[in-house]
Structure 1
Amino acid sequence: MRPFVTRRAWLTSGLAFLLATGGKSEGSRRWRVGYLDSGRSPVGSNTLRGALRALGYEEGRNLVIDVREANGKYGLLPALADELVALNPDVIVANATPAIAAAQKATSTIPIVMSPATDPIGSGFVVSFAHPGRNITGVANMFGDTTTKMLDIIRLVFPTAKKIGILTSNNPTHPPLAALAVSAAEKLGTSATPFAARDPEDLELVFAQMKTSHCDVVYVLADPPRPSLPQIALRASLPTVFQVNSYVTNYEGLISYGPDTTVFFKMAATYVDRILKGSKPADIPVEQPSAFQLVVNLRAAKALQITIPEGVLLMADQVIE
């Protein structure tokens, strides 16, 4: 015989369950994901959203995504990270090293997914790739490994170039990347000089400085895209190449060489999924991209009155006409 349960007891136990679960069953739980962007990347946030949707997460049903963007002004990131932490998200996705560093300072308990980091070990985000060891894991972009390769491409496209301007920001990963580029340029018999545009508003002035300094070509180190940059380069009549491919595919830049940046956000979604299902960031290995793409934009080349050598076009993974 089933034990008799009074209506009062049934209501009491039901109320306790609702209080414990927030009024929702486990299957209807609404997860909260914070997205902290060093720049302003609708491609990144939209790719992340699409990848999470493919994994069964739907905004308005079982997912909330809170977005905070610094628009290239990295000094805003600490306050933006604090805003996200105050919302008590289940996980934070941070785009690029400045945002990851800000999130790391804001919390040591909320899981953080790097999307991506240039040097996660050197930056102090993880102990090792295999065993991150803290509340941070995610994707490494390997831009350090592509820096010298880009100098080879510059030599092929601009064989008479005598001086390369290396465009940096206040991204903490840029000094070592710039040093690599300077060393690689010297080995090729070319000089290279870093020029810093700390904020997007500095780009016009810095391109004018590079023009006055007789730079023949500009090499832009990896950063969240500053969409106005390719047009500023065009107005300055300075051929400009990029580590980040979205400059070429989305903003009419000239040439890029590096990993497909949209892959980072798809990979980040799988990290978020694993964390929401109970895995700890300390135990999830850091991943790296397995493929790199050379992208050439012939429209930009025409606007700059540059002829891209046939050999470079044959090397390219994508040619935009």
Structure 2
Amino acid sequence: MALPALFAPGGVSAQRTKAAASRRIGVLWLGAASTTFGPTSREVLLRDTLRQLGWVEGRNLAVETRYVGDGVDPVRSVQDLLATRVDALVAMGSPIALAARHVTGALPVVFVVFGDPVEFGLIDSLARPGGNLTGIYMPTAEHAGKRLALLRDAVPATTRIAVFNFADSRARVEARNTQAAAQKLGVQLVEMNLNGLADLDDAFLECKRAGATALTVLTEPRTSVHLGRVAEMSLAHRLPSVAGYAGFAWLGGFMAYGADGGEGIRRAASFVARILDGARPADLPVEQSTRYVLALNIKTARTLGVRFPRALVRYANVVIS
């Protein structure tokens, strides 16, 4: 991955020669500790990037890690980390970032979120975040139509595609864009309204009864915690599926198209390094992820009896076999 600005000469780099005082950061991940969204675990990627930027765990940096899975209160998790007297906090996911905004006071917070952080109420504006939060965001709604079109390209015979919706979902714009794309593509969306993740099993059964032959997964935080389960159930119910999380395919999903989470983690590390060197979050404009990944899982496709078109395979960034 080429990120020249991250390691530019004259900036903070692995060649840092000055002695750095030991600092402590807290990192909150959305999901379970075992979650892996690529060939390198997200935890290792963050630590490796910080090391390249001169902040080495065990030498001048301590890292406190917590996981916010299903049923875990993000506010309590943030407060738990604050009790360890961290110098900065990394919030991986919008529910965690929102919790941090309410309880961290002046403590610097770097977030990585899917969706618009201004719309979420995390910051005042992208250019001037204000307050104690800054970070990276990955647009999702803008690419809803592209995801649906790619799924249709992969499974051209499908005319009914299921989509899960939560009553209080933050993916409302993405849902509307998905509906508009479906009309243009001439496919019918089968909308499954869920009150919570406990309804997931019944929703999959209802998809089949409604005649859906494929599934698109909205980039909703509660779904992201259970991406592996969604991928497994999609396979069990023989529904080719697409998600906006690029790591979905690594977890066994049929295909994924979305912002590269690895880039988000690397950029978050660069924000952390600058803050540890004295920068204020209010002075660091929020950045938009610019690298998008199309990932195809050939093994899952084979199990489903689907063959990806050659043109789609050539277009893909990641092909998992």
Q: Structure 2 length as normaliser, TM-score?
A: 0.84
| Letter matched to residue 191 of structure 1 | Q
Task: Select the residue among 73, 77, 80 that pairs with 1:80.
Answer: 77
**Alignment-derived partner of residue 275 in structure 1:** 275
What is the alpha-carbon distance in structure 2 between the residues aligned to residue 100 and residue 193 of structure 1? 32
Give the deviation of 1:49 after TM superposition. Answer: 1.3
Give the deviation of 1:191 after TM superposition. Answer: 2.2
**Alignment-derived partner of residue 181 in structure 1:** 178
Give the deviation of 1:173 after TM superposition. Answer: 2.5
What is the alpha-carbon distance in structure 1 between the residues aligned to residue 304 and residue 137 of structure 2? 33
What is the alpha-carbon distance in structure 2 between the residues aligned to residue 169 and residue 91 of structure 1? 33
Q: Which stretch shifts more, 131-140 or 77-86?
A: 77-86
| Letter matched to residue 203 of structure 2 | V
| Aligned CA distance change for structure 1 residues 193 and 85 (closer, same or farther; 3 Å) | farther
Q: How does 1:1-321 map to 2 (within 5 A)?
A: 27=19, 29-40=21-32, 41=35, 43-73=41-71, 76-168=73-165, 172-195=169-192, 202-222=199-219, 223=221, 224-226=224-226, 227-248=228-249, 250-321=250-321
* Fraction of identical pairs, as percent: 29
Q: Deviations over 1:30-58 (max 9, x none)?
A: 21111112223452222111111211222
Give the deviation of 1:181 after TM superposition. Answer: 1.1
What is the alpha-carbon distance in structure 1 between the residues aligned to residue 261 and residue 20 of structure 2? 32
What is the alpha-carbon distance in structure 1 between the residues aligned to residue 254 and residue 312 of structure 2? 13
Structure 2: gaps of 5 or more residues = 1-17
Q: Is the 8 A contact 1:182 1:193 kept in 2?
A: no
CA RMSD of aligned residues (A): 2.2
What is the alpha-carbon distance in structure 2 between the residues aligned to residue 255 and residue 149 of structure 1? 12
Give the deviation of 1:202 after TM superposition. Answer: 4.5
What is the alpha-carbon distance in structure 1 between the residues aligned to residue 192 and residue 70 of structure 2? 16
| Aligned CA distance change for structure 1 residues 150 and 179 (closer, same or farther; 3 Å) | same
Q: Is the 8 A contact 1:97 1:172 kept in 2?
A: no
| Aligned CA distance change for structure 1 residues 220 and 175 (closer, same or farther; 3 Å) | same
Between Structure 1 and Structure 2, whose CA radius of gyration is higher?
1
**Alignment-derived partner of residue 19 in structure 1:** none
Q: Is the 8 A contact 2:141 2:171 kept in 1?
A: no
**Alignment-derived partner of residue 15 in structure 1:** none
**Alignment-derived partner of residue 11 in structure 1:** none
Structure 1: gaps of 5 or more residues = 1-25
Give the deviation of 1:199 after TM superposition. Answer: 5.8
